[in-house]
Structure 1
Amino acid sequence: MNVNGSSLGNPGPFGGGGVAKDHLGDLIFAFHSGYGISSNGQAETKVFWEALSHCKAKGLNKVELVSDSKSVVEALSKVSSPSWVMWYWWTRIKSLKDNMEICFSYSPRESNAMTDDLTQMGSGSQAHSSFQSIAELPPLIKGLLFLDKVGL
């Protein structure tokens, strides 16, 4: 599952987005959310929590979360607590990890275009949208999902 969070300003309107695909690259679900006003660190951490919450609700207990936020991936991979900016969501992520097998991975921003676009949609609108099928996806995200699936 690829996730991304960002703040339009630091602090500013912040949001997140995520795309979960199966081993064949087919969509399981996607989402974007606006979260209010805060910093990049909180946005990046909260989107991990939201993604894991969606996964747990769908019974997906073995999850790889991929993000372009190296600092959050490193903080969540450690047993010790992260910076105070991430603390609130970090504690909630740790509690969700019970009965789940989770791996956190870093990926450069260039390989995370779908979630970057979903995040901008969430940050800009401050709304929440969840997509359960390709037909429900915004046209841009449908196109990016297709390109990703064919390896372009």
Structure 2
Amino acid sequence: MSELDETDRRLLNALQREGRLSNADLSDKVNLSPSACHRRVQRLEKDGFISGYVALVNPRKVDRKTTVFVEITLRAQADDVLDAFEKSVARIPDVLECHLMAGQADYLLKVVAEDAEDFARIHRRYLASLPGVQGMQSSFALRTVRQTTALPV
């Protein structure tokens, strides 16, 4: 974080809140000239501080109202087992996140589904056939209390 000054942080915070700001509006928000603002944003992109721009889709509007967190324990920790699991899970369209964990579970997956029945389909079709799996524990989210994509900078 030492490469970021206060102006860079203001730029990142503004873009995290509203990624579609025009350069003119962004420069106004952070008190920079449009040309200086454009150069800084380009540098932040080039240096990897900004890795991309996306539209955040409302899951309820696309019938993905159910979020399930799945803890997975593997039979072994060998590199080939981990690699095979990670390659397979990366191909499952309903898995939004997959994290290698420290603790009881080896992996934590965030899965979206229409409902419990749809999750059963995802489980049968994809999760049950993941390589190297010894155990699986699924927890359904009842309500999302806080969700953000904005990192504190």
Q: Which has the higher strand share?
A: 1
Q: Same fold (TM over 0.5)?
A: no
TM-score, with length taken from structure 2: 0.26
Give the greater-gyration-radius structure (CA). Answer: 2
Select the structure with the greater relative contact order (CA < 8 A; seq sep ≥ 6): 1
